[in-house]
Amino acid sequence: MQNIERQDVYTRITGQIINSLEQGVCPWIKPWDAEHAAGRITRPLRHNGQAYSGINILMLWASAVEHGFCAPIWMTFKQALELNANVKKGEKGSLVVYANTITKTEDDGNGNDVEREIPFMKGYTVFNVEQIEGLPAHYYAKPEPKMTGPERIAHAEAFFGNTGADIRVRGNRAYYAIDADYIAMPPIESFADAESYYATLAHETTHWTRHGSRLERDFGRKTWGDEGYAREELVAELGSAFLCADLELTPEVREDHAAYIGSWLEVLKNDKRAIFQAASYAQKAVDFLHRLQQPKAEAAA
């Protein structure tokens, strides 16, 4: 039964991602300006302010796009009741997943007990705070006006500088050269806006984490455009989306998305676990890049 539920979750979520891509929409790109206290763009948040991660980011962003939610906060029916609030009549929830492992003791055939970790995943339903009435006022709070531009861009500049990546300004193409281990970026002046520049840099820096001295990520890519290439590009695309949320950037949709969508669709249709795997690898890459900020912060303290 548990395995059947897990397969159903894979199928449902992958189906939703495929449906968005077939309409030319990347569900991990948030195409609206938030009007909530969380600011312009953020990861989806639980009722206690904790951010969602991995595949749940994509699912809740996609649900917010579909239903026009601006608020980034989500909670279960029970959590709303515990706050003396209630879900509005007729509202439908959004699917998220919980994944973990259980430890089972088994006989190894030689009379010895061995412990085996068994992964499990289950889906559950959450509601956006805009679907709930009676919550404390701060759940509905609108933002104070925020300064835009230099301060946040400076923060992005510091973030990528702290990674220690070899970033070279050259030519008119952005790419990561794994053999020489450097990132090539066009001049920032060649981008429509600074946020698009940093989104592209986030994409290439996610690629940078795949190097053997870092996360050693390899999907068996052999040639441009093959399945391994598409999988790695999907990881980099999600990594960029997660980082843009963390750095409060709202970039424009990249011109090359249309070229990639076909290859992503092929991968997702052939493997319903692919989007889960890509989101997991992207989360690990982003976590790795965030860890590189810590020594710099401690040294400055």
Q: What is the per-residue pLDDT for 159?
A: 96
Q: What is the per-residue pLDDT for 207?
A: 97
DSSP 65: H
**pTM of this structure:** 0.77
Distance (Å, whole) CA 112 – CA 101: 22
The set of residues, in sequence order, having a beta carbon less than 8 Å from that of 144 and lying 6+ positions away, is none
Q: What is the per-residue pLDDT for 192?
A: 76
Q: What is the per-residue pLDDT for 1?
A: 45
Distance (Å, whole) CA 259 – CA 124: 34
Q: What is the per-residue pLDDT for 32?
A: 42
Reduced to 3 states (helix: H, G, I; strand: E, B; else coil), residue 208 is helix
Residue 165, CA distances (Å) to 170, 201, 235, 247 in order:
15, 11, 18, 18
Q: What is the per-residue pLDDT for 151?
A: 39
Distance (Å, whole) CA 156 – CA 279: 22
H or E element: which one contains 290?
Answer: helix 274-291
Q: What is the per-residue pLDDT for 274?
A: 93
pLDDT along the chain (301 residues), means of 10: 60 85 74 51 86 91 82 94 96 91 77 78 92 94 52 82 94 89 88 86 96 93 75 92 88 66 88 93 97 67 50
Compute the CA torsion angle 184, 185, 186, 189 (nearest 10 deg).
-160
CB 60 within 8 Å of CB 74: yes
